[in-house]
Amino acid sequence: MVAQIIDGIKIAERIKTEVKDELLYIKNRFNLIPKVVSIIVGENPATEIYVNNQCKICNEIGINVEVVKINKNTTQQELENKIIQFNEDESINAIMLNLPLPPHLNQRKLQNMILPIKDIESVTAENLGKLFYAETPLVVAPCTALAVIECLKETKIELKGKHTVIVGHSEIVGKPILLMLLSSLLNSPTPTVCHIATKNLIEYTKLAEILIVAVGKPNLITEDMVKDNAVVIDVGINRIKLLDKNGREIIDEKTGKPKTKIVGDVDFENVSKKASYITPVPGGIGPITTCILAKNLLNLTKIQLNLPIEGYKIFS
Ligand code: NAP
């Protein structure tokens, strides 16, 4: 069996078009281009790349992003005051607090200071509580977890009762995926969550009809760990060095640095021979995540404008 590839770029384009059309309507009717403030505290090249990429996609869709860089020595009080200022500013529709924060700052307190109606990443207890209670309409939810759900929907396979193994239980990915999978009383799959303390991971992954991996370790999931015909969703993003056939690093002549590439957590080449569906990395979850961020903003903006919203339908 050769797995069908779940094309994240195609799904992302579909979401992008939907969001763009609705934002155009808002622009014409209210003369409004929604604005996000993206806060970066301290210097972090990975965060800057991530934010630059978001800015590019948001601009394409019709969203203004203002990047606010704050010195790494800022105090908790100064940052809290900034968030209060952005909450009160009616020209700002959403606030993003990029992680990681320097260790002297209280991340959870700062996240919870963002007004839920401006919480584009769904990090506040109020918005996560709505996910916990499967409240409808669901206005915002964690983007990567929603991207996983979009990929599962794309396969059109029935999820009801299916044994689903999630590897990784982080607050931004694994846990919200679990809540989403359990959000329908009638149609939920049956999830198992594995993590660093799981003994003998293979015993669980081999039973998975649906396998979702969100760890950050290249090649964690090899072919022998996957059940025949499983649906495999790879959330991991890892940059690895390219090696020649003797196992030596390949050096880029222009930069003098080792050449690298991005891979997921799954051995794509071999697992794709066994799975029924698989997401590639890159080109899978990543592009969908950014478009869902834009959709979260659209939903928040509609609420702020008293427009009706449909909200996310996870599983009916
Ligand atoms: P994280 O906070 O580091 O969480 C990783 C999770 O994996 C933790 O729950 C950890 O368990 C678990 N884990 C670590 N080693 C394991 C092992 N050997 N076996 C089983 N579980 C193990 O990372 P994250 O933020 O969730 O991100 C996970 C990956 O997804 C990363 O590669 C990240 O770059 C990627 N990501 C992609 C997107 C996207 O848009 N595509 C978005 C977000 C993240 P413990 O907590 O018990 O240690």
pLDDT tens, position by position, 260-276: 999 999 999 999 999 99
Buried b (16+ CB within 10 A) or exposed e, 6-42: bbbeebbeebbeebbebbeebeeeeeeebbbbbbbbb
What pLDDT, on a 0 to 100 scale, did the predictor assign at position 120? 98
Distance 215 CA to ligand 1 centre (A): 3
Q: Ligand 1 centroid to 30 CA: how many Å? A: 41
Cα of 109 to ligand 1 centre, how many Å? 22
**How confident is the model over 22-53, as pLDDT tens digits?**
999 999 999 999 999 999 999 988 888 889 98
- Has residue 155 got a pLDDT over 80? yes
Give the other-Cβ count within 10 Å of 298's Cβ.
Answer: 25
Mean pLDDT of 216-237: 97
Q: Which pLDDT score is estimated for 45?
A: 87
Is the model's pLDDT at 316 over the cut of 80?
A: no
Tokens of residue 242, six digits: 């390219």
> Tokens for 220?
């964690």
What pLDDT score does 49 carry? 87
Q: What's the whole-model pTM score?
A: 0.96
- Please give the pLDDT value at position 200: 98
Measured between alpha carbons, how far is 231 from 276 in angstroms, rounded to an integer? 6
Among protein residues, the one whose CA lies closest to atom 5 of ligand 1: 215
State residue 185's pLDDT score: 78
Task: Supply the mean pLDDT for the chain.
Answer: 96
Task: Work out the percent of the chain whose per-residue pLDDT is above 90.
Answer: 94
Indicate whether 280 pLDDT > 80. yes
| Other CB atoms within 10 A of residue 275 CB | 25
Mean local confidence (pLDDT), 185-194: 92
Please report the pLDDT score of residue 306 as a whole number.
97
* Domain residue limits, the chain: 30-119, 142-286
The answer to whether the CB of 263 falls within 8 A of the CB of 243 is no
Taking CA atoms only, the protein residue closest to ligand 1 atom 23 is: 215
Q: In CATH, what class is 142-286?
A: alpha beta
Bond prior to 116 in cis (omega within 30° of 0): no
Residue 115 CA from chain centroid, whole number: 21
Tens digits of per-residue pLDDT, 106-144? 999 999 999 999 999 999 999 999 999 999 899 999 999
Reply yes or no on whether the pLDDT at 84 is more than 80: yes
Query: What gap in Å lies between CA 226 and CA 162, rounded to an integer?
Result: 15
Q: Candidates 57, 144, 170, 199: which one to mutate for ligand 1, based on the most atoms within 8 Å of Cβ?
A: 170
The least confident of 17-26, 41-50, 153-162 is 41-50
| 218 pLDDT tier (thresholds 50, 70, 90) | very high
Which protein residue has the closest C-alpha to ligand 1 atom 48?
Answer: 196
Q: Please name the residue whose Cα sits nearest to atom 34 of ligand 1.
A: 237
Question: In terms of CATH, what superfamily is 30-119?
Answer: Leucine Dehydrogenase, chain A, domain 1 (3.40.50.10860)
Residues with CB under 6 A from ligand 1: 144, 167-170, 172-174, 194-198, 201, 214-217, 220, 235-238, 285-286, 289
Q: How far is the CA of 38 from the centre of ligand 1 (A)?
A: 23
Q: Do domains 30-119 and 142-286 have the same CATH topology?
A: yes
For residues 168-173, give the mean pLDDT. 96
Residue 184 pLDDT class (50, 70, 90 cuts): confident
Residue 315 has pLDDT above 80, yes or no: no
Looking at ligand 1, which residue's alpha carbon is closest to its atom 42? 144
Question: Does residue 314 register a pLDDT over 90?
Answer: no
Asked if pLDDT for residue 204 goes beyond 80, the answer is: yes
